[in-house]
Amino acid sequence: MEPVYVDANYWIYWFDERFPEHIYVNESMQSAIRGGVVLSTVTLMEVAHYFRILPVNVLEEKIEMITSLSTLTLVDFTYTILQSSISFLSKYSISGLGGRDCVILATMKAAGSKVLLTHDKAFKKVRGIKIIDEIS
């Protein structure tokens, strides 16, 4: 099974039961985790940023739950990924993708992933990747 990049919004919806989207993401998250997850350190920081108001031990526990997954490929934000991100940004910014979105695309390219689990509709304009969104 091909590894799936899981965007920050899916991690947040999965962890935070207060969101109405929470009920829709569990099955796709479990499937992605079983098959293999790709994640950039930038996206991991985005998830941590969302949960920053929690007590430090709870925040660390959530991040540890992600980083300890045996099926996780955690990709560092390198200069090569930066260059690729900038290239994607120049191509897709007109379509509504921002800098962190383009880091996702560059990380997917570097990791050989063509499947993205996200609720961000702007990614639907990117050719060559499959979007999974159980919420829409």
Q: How many residues in total does the chain contain?
A: 136
Query: What is the pTM assigned to this prediction?
Result: 0.95
Q: Give residue-wise pLDDT tens across range 43-56.
A: 999 999 999 999 99
Outline where DSSP puts E strands in 1-136: 4-6, 37-40, 72-75, 115-117, 130-132
Q: Give residue-wise pLDDT tens across range 69-124.
A: 999 999 999 999 999 999 999 999 999 999 999 999 999 999 999 999 999 999 99
What pLDDT was estimated at residue 2? 83
CA 66 to chain centroid: 11
Cα distances from 120 to residues 4, 5, 70, in angstroms, run 15, 13, 26
Per CATH, the number for 4-128 is: 3.40.50.1010
DSSP state of 95: G
| Res 128 pLDDT > 90 | yes
Domain ranges of the chain: 4-128
User: How far is 7 from 101, CA to CA, in rounded Å?
Assistant: 9
Which residue in 6, 74, 12, 85 sits closest to 49, CA to CA?
12
